[in-house]
């Protein structure tokens, strides 16, 4: 910007409303981004680790700190701010072009709501963690403190509610935050004045978002939910009949989270959400201190992410498996029967080496994130390549089911019941999808990483395909002509290559580059380590015609592709079901792989029902100890007996207080 533009921007920047220090404003300059003022100082010191990146706009006392960020660096910055530091990010755009200073918020994201930043954060990678926003409302009933919770996970399209009695230390709330995995908490401005509540939220590493009292009003929540919730075919859902509606405080919190996430402003969300109650009593209660003391998850400041329970246990092959593993660690079961069910499946894979290795090393590798793909299909943002990813995964799954069935039919009925039988049913639901892909996609072009409709599917496509084929024949004929002209051997020294950006071009080794020097018949495109790329006038013209024909082909197939994506969107629910099945299988196989590969093999504990009052551990140790190099340790034998004694390394303590039930 010139000095005049600098001054105009500085004036516009200083008139922006105040914001919390946990919100970073980023300005989109089309080709790059900028941050300014205190945000620039923060980004320089905390992210770039140097103030050398800071420049100044304006002069004198009115000068403004500024940092320019490339689009590539912005992706890293956004991930750092949103996923690690739990900050908010706002993207400002200019209404009237570069010379204007009318800035408005075009996009925004927070740790619990990454929807508008999905392509930036996860454009090239899958989402390995769940994301959710929690809203809370407190009240008093019969002289006791009651808390209502509304939780929304936009990516999973689910709403959860909970209402419970809590103490002045908010112990139950802290346990629930950990179990839900919330990244952000929406709370009334008056309620956050409670010092204890604020301490619990900050200790849980949750971003606090204050909202006005009017957002916590359940007056319109029924009609809002009627729009958002999905219902069975042929039914018109009426959320007023749901049992969750009886939880008055929770529904006020749900209203707040719907308003905060602006769910009703996006029609893509209508009829997509599910509503359920969250019963945190079915899980072991963990507070923030226990999570840190047990070293359950990696510390954000620690570069070594394997030195924690999650890092040790994560032998998963899929991103959905990683997400479920993190959820299970936050939600330890207390139901003995459900725990034994998991143990039996893990035991099956521990005792059956071949299926364990085949599932972990072969069948689960390359399985895509069906949750993310289903969302792309719902939003009509999917491509033919996404259709092929689903098709390719479906093509592998019958072999997975066969591997499980061969060994589990007699040895483990649970594997048949939980994985094989449901898996076969889901695959049957996808049979028409697979037929559609086979009938419409040109698999021959897929080998060249091009995803197009078969030429025979449309007359215009057929004519364009024949033109493209004719041009390719003429282009290939140029190779022998140029080989003779330059006196170099074709397909060895001289090669004809093709790329998405350039189309066709010739390449010779750098050693033979002298054959091109001072030869006016050839134009050098660039020189790289692997050789010199060039073309002649004939190839240039043929290549231009070839690229134009390819573009016309893609334009012609757009309507057909849109129809295919629309049909594929009808399989989103089946994709979610398949995603859950794959995730559960991945985690349980991961446990088996961990158990047999640990330095000191893990054992399957015998479980007693709750209330038995006995806990006995032999050679107990934290698994992180085994990974410490050059460190020796002595495992402990531990015994708790209700109303009796606590034994550890021959030291005796009274344990009547230590054992709760």
| Beta carbons within 8 Å of 35's beta carbon, 6+ residues apart | 24, 25, 26, 27, 43, 66, 67, 69
| 290-298 mean pLDDT | 90
pLDDT, tens digit (0-9, with 9 covering 90-100), for 218-262: 888 999 999 999 875 545 568 888 888 999 999 999 999 999 999
Fold: same for 133-287 and 459-556: no
Q: Which residue would you say has higher pLDDT here, 268 or 579?
A: 579
| 194-200 mean pLDDT | 86
Q: What band does 638 get if pLDDT is binned at 50, 70 and 90?
A: confident
CB 111 within 8 A of CB 82: yes
| 98-120 mean pLDDT | 82
Q: pLDDT value at position 92?
A: 94
146 pLDDT more than 60: yes
CA distance 254 to 461: 50
The CATH architecture assigned to 459-556 reads Orthogonal Bundle (1.10)
Q: What band does 659 get if pLDDT is binned at 50, 70 and 90?
A: very low
Could you count the other beta carbons within 10 Å of the beta carbon of residue 449? 8
Query: How would you classify residue 170: left for phi > 0, otherwise alpha for psi between -120 and 50, otherwise beta?
Result: left
| 548-565 mean pLDDT | 93
The DSSP line for 167-229 is -TT-HHHHHHHHHHT-SEEEEETTGGG-HHHHHHHHHTT-EEEEE-GGGS--TTHHHHHHHHB
Provide the pairing of β-strand 144-153 with 133-141: antiparallel
661 pLDDT more than 50: no
Q: pLDDT value at position 654?
A: 40
Q: pLDDT value at position 652?
A: 40
CB 38 within 8 A of CB 47: no
Q: What band does 98 get if pLDDT is binned at 50, 70 and 90?
A: low
Q: What band does 128 get if pLDDT is binned at 50, 70 and 90?
A: low
Q: pLDDT value at position 129?
A: 65
Lowest mean pLDDT among 89-93, 289-293, 351-355, 651-655: 651-655
Domain covering 133-287, topology: Nucleotidyltransferase; domain 5 (3.30.420)
Q: Report the chain's C-alpha Rg in angstroms.
A: 30
pLDDT, tens digit (0-9, with 9 covering 90-100), for 458-513: 899 999 999 999 999 999 999 999 999 988 888 888 999 998 888 999 999 888 88
Lowest mean pLDDT among 135-149, 184-198, 316-330: 184-198
Q: What band does 301 get if pLDDT is binned at 50, 70 and 90?
A: low
Provide the pairing of β-strand 144-153 with 158-166: antiparallel
The per-residue pLDDT of the chain, averaged, comes to 87
658 pLDDT more than 60: no
657 pLDDT more than 60: no
CB 321 within 8 A of CB 582: yes
Beta strands in 557-625 (DSSP E): 614-620
pTM of the model: 0.83
CA distance 61 to 260: 38
Could you count the other beta carbons within 10 Å of the beta carbon of residue 557? 23
Lowest mean pLDDT among 189-198, 342-351, 570-579: 189-198
Q: pLDDT value at position 275?
A: 92
pLDDT, tens digit (0-9, with 9 covering 90-100), for 344-368: 999 999 999 999 999 999 999 989 9
| 581-588 mean pLDDT | 97
Could you count the other beta carbons within 10 Å of the beta carbon of residue 173? 27
Task: State whether CATH 2.40.30.10 applies to domain 3-109.
Answer: no
Q: What band does 99 get if pLDDT is binned at 50, 70 and 90?
A: low
457 pLDDT more than 90: no
pLDDT, tens digit (0-9, with 9 covering 90-100), for 383-416: 999 999 999 999 999 999 999 998 777 778 899 9
295-442+568-597 sits in which CATH class?
mainly alpha
Q: pLDDT value at position 399?
A: 94
pLDDT, tens digit (0-9, with 9 covering 90-100), for 305-337: 678 999 999 999 999 999 999 999 999 999 999
Domain range list for the chain? 3-109, 133-287, 295-442+568-597, 459-556, 614-654
Report percent pLDDT > 90 for the chain: 54
Residues paired with 33 in a beta bridge: 28, 69
Q: pLDDT value at position 329?
A: 94
Q: pLDDT value at position 233?
A: 54
CA distance 126 to 124: 7
| Beta carbons within 8 Å of 62's beta carbon, 6+ residues apart | 7, 10
274 pLDDT more than 80: yes
CB 66 within 8 A of CB 12: no
Q: pLDDT value at position 249?
A: 94
Q: Identify the H or E element spanning 595.
A: helix 572-597
| 112-137 mean pLDDT | 75
602 pLDDT more than 60: yes
CB 152 within 8 A of CB 257: yes
| 618-639 mean pLDDT | 83
Residues paired with 134 in a beta bridge: 151, 185
């Amino acid at each position: 910007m010139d000095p005049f533009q600098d001054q105009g921007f500085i004036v516009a920047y200083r008139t922006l409303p105040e914001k919390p220090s946990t919100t970073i404003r980023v300005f989109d300059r089309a080709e790059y981004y900028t941050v300014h003022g205190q945000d620039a100082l923060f980004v320089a010191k905390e992210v770039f680790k140097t103030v050398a990146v800071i420049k100044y706009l304006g002069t004198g006392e009115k000068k403004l700190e500024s940092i320019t960020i490339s689009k590539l660096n912005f992706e890293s910055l956004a991930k750092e701010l949103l996923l690690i530091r739990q900050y908010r990010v706002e993207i400002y755009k200019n209404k009237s072009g570069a010379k204007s200073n009318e800035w408005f918020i075009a996009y925004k994201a927070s740790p619990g709501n990454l929807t508008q930043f999905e392509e930036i954060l996860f454009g090239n990678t899958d989402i390995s963690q769940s994301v959710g926003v929690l809203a809370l409302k407190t009240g008093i009933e019969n002289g006791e403190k009651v808390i209502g919770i509304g939780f929304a996970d936009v990516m999973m399209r689910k709403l959860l509610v909970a209402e419970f009695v809590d103490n002045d230390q908010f112990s139950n709330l802290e346990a629930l935050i950990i179990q839900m995995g919330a990244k952000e908490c929406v709370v009334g401005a008056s309620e956050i004045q409670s010092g204890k509540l604020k301490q619990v939220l900050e200790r849980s590493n949750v971003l606090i978002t204050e909202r006005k009292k009017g957002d916590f009003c359940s007056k319109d929540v029924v009609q809002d939910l009627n729009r958002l919730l999905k219902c069975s075919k042929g039914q018109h859902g009426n959320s007023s009949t749901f049992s969750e509606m009886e939880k008055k405080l929770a529904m006020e919190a749900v209203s707040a989270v719907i308003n905060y996430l602006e769910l009703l402003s996006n029609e893509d969300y209508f009829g997509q959400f599910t509503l359920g109650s969250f019963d945190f009593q079915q899980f072991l209660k963990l507070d923030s201190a226990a999570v840190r003391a047990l070293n359950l998850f990696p510390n954000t400041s620690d570069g070594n992410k394997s030195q924690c329970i999650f890092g040790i246990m994560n032998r998963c092959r899929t991103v959905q498996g990683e997400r479920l593993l993190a959820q299970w660690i936050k939600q330890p079961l207390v139901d003995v029967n459900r725990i034994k069910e998991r143990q039996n499946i893990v035991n099956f894979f521990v005792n059956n080496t071949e299926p364990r290795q085949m599932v972990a090393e072969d069948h689960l590798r390359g399985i895509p994130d069906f949750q993310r793909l289903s969302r792309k299909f719902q939003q009509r943002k999917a491509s033919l390549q996404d259709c092929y990813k689903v098709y390719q995964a479906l093509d592998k799954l019958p072999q997975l089911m066969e591997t499980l069935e061969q060994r589990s039919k007699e040895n483990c009925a649970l594997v048949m019941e939980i994985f094989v039988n449901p898996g076969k049913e889901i695959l049957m639901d996808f049979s028409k999808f697979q037929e559609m892909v086979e009938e419409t996609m040109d698999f021959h072009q897929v080998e060249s990483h091009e995803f197009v409709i078969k030429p025979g599917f449309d007359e215009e496509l057929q004519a364009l395909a024949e033109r493209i084929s004719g041009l390719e024949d003429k282009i290939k004929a140029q190779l022998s002509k140029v080989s003779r002209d330059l006196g170099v051997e074709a397909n060895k020294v001289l090669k004809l290559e093709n790329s998405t950006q350039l189309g066709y071009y010739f390449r010779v080794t750098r050693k033979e580059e002298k054959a091109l020097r001072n030869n006016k018949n050839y134009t050098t495109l660039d020189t790289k380590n692997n050789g010199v790329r060039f073309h002649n006038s004939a190839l240039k013209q043929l290549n231009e015609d070839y690229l134009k024909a390819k573009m016309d082909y893609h334009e012609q197939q757009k309507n057909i592709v849109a129809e295919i994506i629309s049909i594929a969107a009808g399989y989103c629910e089946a994709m979610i079901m398949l995603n859950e099945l794959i995730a559960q299988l991945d985690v349980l196989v991961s446990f088996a792989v961990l158990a047999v590969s640990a330095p000191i093999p893990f054992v399957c504990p015998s479980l007693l029902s709750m209330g038995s009052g006995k806990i006995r551990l032999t050679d107990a140790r934290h698994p992180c100890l085994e990974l410490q190099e050059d460190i020796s340790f002595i495992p402990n034998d531990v015994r708790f007996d209700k109303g009796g004694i606590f034994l550890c390394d021959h030291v005796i303590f009274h344990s009547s207080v230590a054992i709760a039930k």
